[in-house]
Amino acid sequence: MSDPQRPQRDPARPGIPWHERRIADVALRLYASLHSPAAILESFRHDALRAGMLARGLSETQGRTPVRIARFPGIESSSRNWSVYMTLDHLVMVNTAIMVLLHAICSDHNHGAEIGLEDVEPHRDAGPDRIPALEAAVERYSDLVERLGPLRSRERHPHPWFGQLSARQWHAVAAIHNRTHRIQIERILRRLQSS
């Protein structure tokens, strides 16, 4: 069902080039295998909370203003014209979805969870309430990862670009995703300050 408050993906516009996705796939698998879940969680928290802190310094008008930025590695073309609050809205959705996946994968249940890209499209009218929502999502995610410990699992769940991933690899995806969108917010802020 289509939500008029969510931007619609343009199927004619490319997301991330295949070669960039391939490099990212290798990098995320290495990251997940070489770093402990606790170290990955530290990075996850740092970038997500930094994104929220950057948003706190904005007026509501600035936070709601979509800003077109140049594409950089890891960002989809369809994400290049978001506001800061839309970006935070997206982070809340993705971090919550990955948290649910981690719990299901580590419980070794045939959970049947499906998360489509359309499920994590931000709302155009996202507002400043996304700042505390992100902080709450980060705390819930952190509590779960700390309870799950080493994130060992037999189960895997498919990622739309990277194929079957373990719980630990999904955890690495979450941290890398937070970093990517924290960089996006910094670029949006630079554009807002220069206009």
On the question of pLDDT at 170 being above 80, the answer is yes
Q: Please give the pLDDT value at position 117.
A: 75
The rounded distance, in Å, linking the Cα atoms of 20 and 9 is: 20
Q: Please give the pLDDT value at position 195.
A: 79
The rounded distance, in Å, linking the Cα atoms of 25 and 29 is: 6
The rounded distance, in Å, linking the Cα atoms of 8 and 10 is: 6
Q: What average pLDDT score do residues 80-105 get?
A: 96
The rounded distance, in Å, linking the Cα atoms of 78 and 80 is: 6
pLDDT digits (tens, 9 = 90+) for 115-128: 777 889 999 999 99
Q: Which two tokens stand for residue 90?
A: 């997206």
Entry pTM: 0.90
On the question of pLDDT at 49 being above 50, the answer is yes
Q: Please give the pLDDT value at position 118.
A: 80
Grade residue 60 by pLDDT with cuts at 50, 70 and 90: very high
Q: List the chain domain ranges.
A: 18-194
Cβ atoms within 10 Å of 116's Cβ, excluding its own:
8
CATH of domain 18-194: 1.20.120.450
Cβ atoms within 10 Å of 115's Cβ, excluding its own:
18
Q: Which two tokens stand for residue 135?
A: 């902080």
Cβ atoms within 10 Å of 91's Cβ, excluding its own:
29
Q: Please give the pLDDT value at position 13.
A: 38
